């Protein structure tokens, strides 16, 4: 195979892999429901930021609390917090995202 077509093929493969990995996310599945959410005191509004509430994170076979924090606003979007969804006998984490 001539060098130019081979180089183009390799470049296309690298771009394809990069685009797949850029959008891939780890799927988190827990075998039982998360504990009830903790009551958090939400700080006063902060210009240019959206509050991302605390949530239970699955790590090393158990739930771990992650407190809320500020996220820099993406103009024209609204922050949708992550949440757990029951799927059969398991629970799946739906990551927070801008919509």
- Burial (CB count <10 Å: 0-12, 13-18, 19+), residue 76: exposed
C-beta separation of 81 from 55 below 8 A: yes
| Residue-range domain boundaries for the chain | 27-98
Rounded CA-CA distance 58/65 in Å is: 9
Has this prediction a pTM greater than 0.75? no
Q: What is the pLDDT of residues 27-61, one digit of tens each?
A: 899 999 999 999 999 999 999 999 999 999 999 99
């Amino acid at each position: 195979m001539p060098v130019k077509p081979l180089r183009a093929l390799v470049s296309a493969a690298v771009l394809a892999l990069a685009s797949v990995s850029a959008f891939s996310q780890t799927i988190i599945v827990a075998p039982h429901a998360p504990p009830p959410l903790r009551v958090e005191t939400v700080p006063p509004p902060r210009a240019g930021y959206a509050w991302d509430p605390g949530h239970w994170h699955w790590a090393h076979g158990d739930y771990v609390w992650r407190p809320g924090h500020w996220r820099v606003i993406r103009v024209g979007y609204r922050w949708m917090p992550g949440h757990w969804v029951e799927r059969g006998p398991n629970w799946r984490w739906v990551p927070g995202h801008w919509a």
